[in-house]
Amino acid sequence: QSCANVSSQTYDYIVIGSGAGGIPIADRLSEAGHSVLLIEKGPPSSGRWGGTLKPKWLDNTNLTRFDVPGLCNQIWADPVGVSCTDVDQMAGCVLGGGTAVNAGLWWKPHPADWDTNFPEGWRNKDLAAATDKVFSRIPGTTTPSLDGKRYLSEGFDMLGGSLGAAGWKYIVPNDHPDEKNRTYGHSTFMFSGGERGGPMATYLVTASARKTFTLWTNTIARRVVRDGGHITGVELECNGAGHAGVVSVTPTTGRVILAAGAFGTPKLLFRSGIGPTDQLNIVKNTTDGETMIASDSWINLPVGYNLNDHVGTDIEIAHPDVVFYDYYGAWNKPIVNDTETYLTKRIGPLAQAAPNIGPMFWEIITGADGIERHLHWQSRVEGARNTSMTVTQYLGTGSVSRGRMVITRQLNTVVSIPPYLRNENDKAAVIQGLVNLQESLKNVPNLTWITPKANVTAAQFLLYLHDVARTTGLFCKGTAKIGTDDGRTGGSSVVDLNTKVYGTDNLFVVDASIIPGHITGNPSAAIVILSEHASTKILALAPPAVGKLGDTCGGKDWKGSFHCAEGLKCAVAGLGISLCRSSS
């Protein structure tokens, strides 16, 4: 195998990464009449796009493991060739990114998800139109099996019923996104037609129907190529397949969108000379060093800081009513009746996400600091016993703990400061939530607490769990934060309110990296919404002004708002001034 060299064709937009952020914006930009290249480093996943990974019972179908909801947990059993190898957390490096490997949970965000941390122009009221667009394309369902029945609902009935008896209110979650306090409901999934659905089955389908849209899978972006603050193209790294060389954007007006995820995007920024100096110096000392952009063109931004993620705290209970279904076993030794009903009608347990997720429930805890912290509880039927349910408590909106991710000499990305429970009130909220659940379930007949045991307090349990809770890692975000406080001058933000990287005139970030703070639930729908919103902002932006010979083009840290005309290059002229000069 070898890589195909890129041609001289240029694109109005190059989008790097085909996950929750990348696919929707690629579609919207091409819908507006632009030529768009979407670059994905992983292989195709869903059968519709040429994916091939599947168990025997899917032979002779156009389905893969990524399409069947009941096989979604296969990423844990067999991550090879699917999960990212350059990230120390679990993430999907295939077409669709996280939306190809996740459990499909799909939430209309609570208004506070936007209003607590996002800047002006990105508040709940501003996101209403984008939310409507997303949910009209991907409405989600609480009954994924096409006969409208819920299979194996014993776990839901036992736990949901117990919460109901303790005074928690039943809701249809996406009908009441703002009701997240002592409420519970069925899981909502992005699934449609009994299959995974989501961005790959909607936005990518419409994009691909346009002649001006191009998708390259198995193609790794190494870095953006830039002249000061102006990006001229994307350099590719040969992967043994896919494409190699430098692919250029349309001269003057072309733009690059980074959508490579909360670790992939910072990595691309670092390799492009954008980030804190300590990280750029690490890149300088790797195989990238010789060809890395010169240090007088580095843009110093706090990329990698502000890492945030939900703290996941698992409890386990058991009850004789609960019925286990072996979703992992469905790979090699499925129940034949279930594969048949799935294959012929898309009904039954395999049309539902493994391992039988639900109920979901929510509570808001007000801390001693006055901040409302959102807890999102997610139950699933698995654990030490056949009658176990494991329930993860996620601490979301309102949490103030933050961490950091960095790059290594091997060009891998790692979490250097875990973002979990670094604040006493964050800890107190987790403990209070556990106590409240213990209290709510205390009168349920025949219910056994497996973890923590009945005689262990929530506080003792959390102390013991601390290391486990640090390993959640699925919902990382915030590493290239959006905001008005320009990170080049001591602020905390990497991108401005148009998602444009400070110090550049045509580089944008549209993925989990820009989310400034925690949100209540699993984030993929929120990321698709912000991608819709970003597309409107980016399309409304005027192209950057073009500098003529002798014009100022940068200034210290490339603060200039324009770049130089073709044939000229922006060169440092001393005293913090840069001028457009002849490039010959």
Ligand X SMILES: Cc1cc2nc3c(=O)[nH]c(=O)nc-3n(C[C@H](O)[C@H](O)[C@H](O)COP(=O)(O)OP(=O)(O)OC[C@H]3O[C@@H](n4cnc5c(N)ncnc54)[C@H](O)[C@@H]3O)c2cc1C
Residues annotated in a binding site = 94
41 binds ligand X (CB under 6 A): yes
38 binds ligand X (CB under 6 A): no
DSSP H or E run through 163: helix 154-165
Mapping DSSP to helix (H, G, I), strand (E, B) and coil, where does residue 215 land?
strand
Question: Could you tell me which residues are beta bridge partners of residue 237?
Answer: 220
Count Cα atoms within 13 angstroms, Cβ side, for 371.
Answer: 22
Q: DSSP letters of 502-544? A: TT-SSEEE-SGGG--S--SS-SHHHHHHHHHHHHHHHHHSPPP
Stretch that binds ligand X, among 92-100, 154-162, 492-500, 559-567 (CB under 6 A): 92-100
Cβ nearer to ligand X, comparing 261 with 383: 261
Q: How far is the CB of 263 from ligand X (least distance, A)?
A: 8
User: What is the size of the binding site for ligand X (CB under 6 A)?
Assistant: 41
Stretch that binds ligand X, among 4-12, 142-150, 365-373, 521-529 (CB under 6 A): 521-529
415 binds ligand X (CB under 6 A): no
Stretch that binds ligand X, among 13-21, 275-283, 328-336, 409-417 (CB under 6 A): 13-21
Mapping DSSP to helix (H, G, I), strand (E, B) and coil, where does residue 405 land?
strand
Q: DSSP letters of 264-275? A: HHHHHHHHTTBS
144 binds ligand X (CB under 6 A): no
472 binds ligand X (CB under 6 A): no
Mapping DSSP to helix (H, G, I), strand (E, B) and coil, where does residue 308 land?
strand
Q: Beta strands 372-380 and 388-395: pairing type?
A: antiparallel
Query: What are the start-end ranges of the H helices in 384-503?
Result: 424-440, 458-469
Q: How far is the CB of 15 from ligand X (least distance, A)?
A: 10
Stretch that binds ligand X, among 14-22, 137-145, 158-166, 201-209 (CB under 6 A): 14-22
Binding residue numbers for FAD: 94
Cβ nearer to ligand X, comparing 104 with 173: 104
Question: For the chain, first and last CA: distance in Å?
Answer: 37
Residue owning tokens 């993925």: 511
Spatial distance between the Cα atoms of 254 and 562, rounded to a whole number of angstroms: 13
Cβ nearer to ligand X, comparing 75 with 146: 75
Q: How far is the CB of 268 from ligand X (least distance, A)?
A: 6
Number of Cβ atoms within 10 Å of the Cβ of 125: 9
Question: Which of 15, 221, 301, 375 lies at the binding interface for ligand X (CB under 6 A)?
Answer: 221
Q: Are 389 and 380 in contact (CB under 8 A)?
A: yes
Stretch that binds ligand X, among 88-96, 325-333, 445-453, 570-578 (CB under 6 A): 88-96
In this structure, the chain runs to a length of 584
Cβ nearer to ligand X, comparing 39 with 365: 39
Q: Are 404 and 411 in contact (CB under 8 A)?
A: no
Residue owning tokens 């769990």: 465
Q: Could you tell me the two tokens for 59?
A: 């032979």
DSSP H or E run through 220: strand 220-227
Q: How far is the CB of 220 from ligand X (least distance, A)?
A: 5
Q: According to CB under 6 A, which residues from 376 to 395 bind ligand X? A: none
Q: How far is the CB of 401 from ligand X (least distance, A)?
A: 18
DSSP H or E run through 218: none
216 binds ligand X (CB under 6 A): no
557 binds ligand X (CB under 6 A): no
Spatial distance between the Cα atoms of 134 and 151, rounded to a whole number of angstroms: 28
Spatial distance between the Cα atoms of 51 and 67, rounded to a whole number of angstroms: 10
Q: How far is the CB of 22 from ligand X (least distance, A)?
A: 6
Question: Could you tell me which residues are beta bridge partners of residue 406?
Answer: 414
Cβ nearer to ligand X, comparing 90 with 565: 90
Stretch that binds ligand X, among 93-101, 241-249, 496-504, 535-543 (CB under 6 A): 93-101
91 binds ligand X (CB under 6 A): yes
196 binds ligand X (CB under 6 A): no
Which residues, 6+ apart, have CB-to-CB distance to 533 below 8 Å?
Answer: 122, 126, 127, 129, 130
Contact mark string toward ligand X, 343..382, x via CB under 6 A: ----------------------------------------
97 binds ligand X (CB under 6 A): yes
36 binds ligand X (CB under 6 A): no
Number of Cβ atoms within 10 Å of the Cβ of 442: 12
Contact mark string toward ligand X, 235..274, x via CB under 6 A: ------------------------xxxx-x---x------
Contact mark string toward ligand X, 497..516, x via CB under 6 A: --------------xx----
Which residues lie near ligand X (CB under 6 A)? 16-22, 39-42, 75, 90-93, 97-99, 101-105, 220-221, 259-262, 264, 268, 474-475, 511-512, 522-525, 527
